[in-house]
Structure formats: C-alpha cells, structure tokens
Amino acid sequence: MFFDALRDKADRIKSIKINRLLKEVWSDPFTQDFIINLNTEEQLFFGLRSDNTTLPPYRNEDYFDQKRSLGLAPNSLINLKLSGAFYKSFDIIPNSIGFLIDANTNIYPDSGDFVDVYGLDILGLNETNTSKLARHLQEDLQIRIRDILDV
C-alpha cells in the first residue's frame, strides 16, 4: 500500500510538463495583467525603462505642470501616459521560452514610434519588477504543482 502510494506520487511527478505548465502561467489573464501593470504603472509611469535607465525629463514645464496637476506625472520624467491608450495597448504574448511584451508603440503617429524615440527598453521589466514577477510565479507554480500532485 505504501509503495503503491509512492509509485502514484512518482508517476504524478513524472507527468509534470514544466514547459506546458509555464505556458499555462504565461497565458493566465491574472498573470498577464500583473506583468502589464509592472511594466506600465510600476515602471514606465515613473519614467523607468527595463534597463533601469530613465526616460528624459519633460522639456515643456507647462505641459509637465498640467500632467502633474491631473495626477499623470509623479516626477519630471516622461512617462508616456496621457490618455491611457498606450498603456491599454500592452499585451503579453506567451512563447516556448517565456513571453514577449507587446504594445502599440506608434499610437500617436505625429509623435513618432515610441520605440524609435525612447528605445526598445520601454517594453520589458527591470530587475526590481522581474523579482516581483518571480515571487508571483513561484506562488502560482507551487499551487499548480500541488494540485497536480494532489498534496
């Protein structure tokens, strides 16, 4: 009886397909929203790129003062948030090794494509937010694995 239970657990452990499990996690809407929030509200909103460099400061002080008065600028760094359309365009695309963060970076054609103007590092997580994501994923994966193992 003991060995049957042990064999059953071993079979369940062998049945775990980590790549499939990770793709399920990346496809989870809650996880995708979490990643997008990290990139937009906890990083870009404060003028930070994924490589921890800052976006440049606003050149027009009147514009900055107006954004600050509306609660749209926590500091003097450009944060690419005005109507919210750019932040709302973010999407997570799961792939075999993780995920890509995608967004409509040419949302205001007269201003130029944001990637061309501010660099590709506006899309992606900095080290701090990567650590937050890792903690989130650890909890999620532990729950999923416990469910598989029926522990």
Q: Which tens digits make up the pLDDT trace of 2-19?
A: 666 667 766 666 666 777
Q: Kindly give the interhelix angle for 2-15 and 127-149, rounded to the nearest 10 degrees.
A: 140
1: helix, strand or coil: coil
Q: What count of residues does the chain have?
A: 151
Burial (0-12, 13-18, 19+ Cβ within 10 Å), 15: exposed
Q: What is the amino acid identity at position 105?
A: T
CA angle 59, 60, 61 (to 5 degrees): 110
Spatial separation of the C-alpha atoms in residues 12 and 6, rounded to whole Å: 10
Q: What contacts 51, CB < 8 A, 6 or more positions away?
A: 121, 126
pLDDT in tens, 67-116: 999 999 999 999 999 889 999 999 999 987 889 999 999 988 888 899 99
The whole-model pTM stands at 0.85
The pLDDT assigned to 121 comes to 97
86: helix, strand or coil: helix
The pLDDT assigned to 11 comes to 67
Beta strands in 8-84 (DSSP E): none
